[in-house]
Structure 1
């Protein structure tokens, strides 16, 4: 590739001999070590078009990046052209028509700040630097999902550049099959999103932040916490959602942590969550009234600037019994060597998520009770392989206890990934791929295949 000429590209071009290359190639997951041929920061649609045409002309694979948060690094690669749209981060709030139009590079924190400053709620994710486009393409779980629906459920229209470098308008009337696919298909399967138009939710200024931690918890009490959680979710007020982590931390020891958001006041929140307060005396609790924006800031600020990790997620469709919960806890009680944080987490589902039929969008697992996440985090590179192997080995247990996999929490080693991510919807998705990207120009290891 020594004879590649970059003069036809526009935007900001970073190649391997550029002093900014090492910084520019980094993923949020620092365990991802990839070396792209070129990183193209696009500022407008023409930059994207030029990049696609150039990459095709030079037979170079394309990857698309906004927040660089792909668990498995699918927004980058070795000797590929990374088309980075993070600079396309405009936000236009149209209160008269109750919509917000955002650029393809907008991230969670940016849209929370823009909408929260006007007291609008937004069903985004928890991590501040995740790209909203990637969030929505994968469905979009968040702490507001049970009340406001998945992020993709508020989507009205998209603008996309296709493999030819042509602009497509995508909504319920125009390219409606692609509109369906963009609500849960994940990643960059069909083209590059340049903008999204999203329906504004109602103004909700105040809510309640929920933080409950059980440090150094016993196995028996740990089991009780999850049993109470499972029971709560059977009739839980949909204005509330929680992420519950069974964790093992070098810093904090073994415990269980619940983080949540309630679209109501702290008195009602305490009443709803009172069964969780009677399990053990070893408990830290923070249930406080604050603005929805402040709640989201608190949750976002709990995330580190970056990590080295291996993680994935699947769907829970049943209540776990004592023996099954004990097995999950044993996994966390035996972390990999060198791990500084290990967790199995329950991401709350139900409520507004299940109001939509599983065939009405590409997001198939609408009727799940929870998403289960498993992760191992380390700091020293010498422990990377042993932590990755730990997760792959324990995934065998998780797989037997769950159904399907969450496309926004991908696992590179997943067998039959198309069926696992999309269920029955894969048949329709493959046809859409064939129509909109017949030559597989948008390609990565777990792309939807059109053969």
Structure 2
């Protein structure tokens, strides 16, 4: 559709679009349609950067009037590019950036345009925190709605465990609030049901936590130490381990020396990082068995400011690039057979860079029942995100195939998949993402979006005859 036609639609009969509007032909259009995963190259009819909630309402009503597909977007981090669509409207909330800290009630209310790094910096400057994610550029909306696995998960839980209320615009353009006492079914579904299924979320209210300095660990090994390191690392995620530590472990293998294609920005092929909410002396004692695994090439275990720990984790995360990733859960300690299979696969990558991120869970995450929120995999010890990237278009097919082969090879040792790492090749996705919570989610969908206006590949369908 031509720019002229779009202008007629947005200012002609019917609802009018408001906010910052970008259409094909505008100088900012190509930057506006770009996703974090640059493998996807889609061309929306119009992109609306909402400045206030009314702009979201107007965009939904406009899209319904002209029967245009809708996608909503916060940080552009949808792994399968599901926050953008060809010939549709993208409703982007990234310019909605109001934030209010309520010290007396120990809460923060913020609009959904914020990214993790900004939330960390603003709250951290006041000695406060909510459990945001690892990557600094992830948008708070999608991150939260999928559950929100964080760098503080074992001590403070998922971000949804700290969510008190949300504001959402529904398919009829109405602004609704959801909390434990009002629209409680929607509040349940929005805590782990994934972004984009029920409406467009415009604000959250979170419980805050006081934070100042933390004990922080950063340990590096060579790839040959993978087996003993992973065997020891996973013991930090069992129920009996100290839940004040949320441990991370990154394994990276890139075939192309000097390639501009890069996954996790680690100094060593094996890197453990972790924030510990306790004395550094106790962290050193806790990590002693891990330090005996292999031959550590770098050991940093010190007390540092919270925001420095945030930055150290952030700089090691992937940057915008073409990639494929999926994140299954591990509910039981991997046996030697599983660890050795990981070693074989990571040492036999395609013509691309590959990585695995192990993200410690359990602790406070496991203290919540699996049906208390839509996030189902509460008993997982950790999440295992499998990554591949490539530097040439020809590398995409083998890179994608490697991730899929890896996921299937891990099926005997894993359960389900984190909904914030969607994989369109998964056939039983409803069970993989939501377990036994899926049926209830379809009922919530039928109540709040019965006409399935907010739909996309692998979106939750409304229950029929519920």
Partner of 2:396: 384
Q: Does 1:30 align with 2:38?
A: yes
Matches of 1:299 and 1:391, distance apart in 2: 24
Aligned 8 A contact 2:236 2:242 in 1 = no
Structure 2 unaligned blocks of 5 or more: 258-265
Q: Does 1:132 align with 2:161?
A: no
Partner of 2:322: 308
TM-score (norm 1): 0.96
Alignment of 1:349-364 (within 5 A): 349-364=361-376
Q: Does 1:261 align with 2:255?
A: no
Deviation (angstroms), 1:393: 2.4
Of the three residues 186, 206, 210, the one matched with 1:178 is: 186
Report which stretch shifted further, 31-40 or 302-311.
302-311
Partner of 1:223: 227
- Report how many residues are paired: 445
Deviation (angstroms), 1:436: 0.2
Aligned 8 A contact 2:154 2:244 in 1 = yes
Q: Does 1:46 align with 2:46?
A: no
Of the three residues 129, 143, 152, the one matched with 1:121 is: 129
Deviation (angstroms), 1:67: 0.2
Alignment of 1:48-447 (within 5 A): 48-201=56-209, 203-215=210-222, 217-218=223-224, 221-234=225-238, 235-249=240-254, 250=256, 255-337=269-351, 339=352, 341-447=353-459
Deviation (angstroms), 1:253: 9.8
Aligned 8 A contact 1:254 1:333 in 2 = no
Matches of 1:55 and 1:26, distance apart in 2: 21
TM-score (norm 2): 0.93
Deviation (angstroms), 1:185: 0.5
SS in 2 for 1:351: coil
Report which stretch shifted further, 52-61 or 28-37.
28-37
Matches of 2:249 and 2:319, distance apart in 1: 21
Aligned 8 A contact 2:59 2:91 in 1 = yes
Matches of 2:296 and 2:120, distance apart in 1: 34
* Superposed CA offset, 1:367-408 (max 9, x none): 111111111022222312221122122221123321111101
Aligned 8 A contact 1:112 1:296 in 2 = yes
Deviation (angstroms), 1:254: 7.9
Matches of 1:286 and 1:9, distance apart in 2: 52
Aligned 8 A contact 1:160 1:167 in 2 = yes
Aligned 8 A contact 2:166 2:179 in 1 = yes
* Superposed CA offset, 1:336-377 (max 9, x none): 11x1x3112321011000010001000010011111111102
Matches of 1:290 and 1:109, distance apart in 2: 18
Matches of 2:219 and 2:296, distance apart in 1: 11
* Superposed CA offset, 1:417-451 (max 9, x none): 11110011111100000000011111111110114
* Superposed CA offset, 1:182-237 (max 9, x none): 10001110001111111112x1211022111102x32xx32111111233333221
* Superposed CA offset, 1:79-136 (max 9, x none): 1100000000111101012110000111101110111011112211011111112111
Matches of 1:193 and 1:90, distance apart in 2: 14
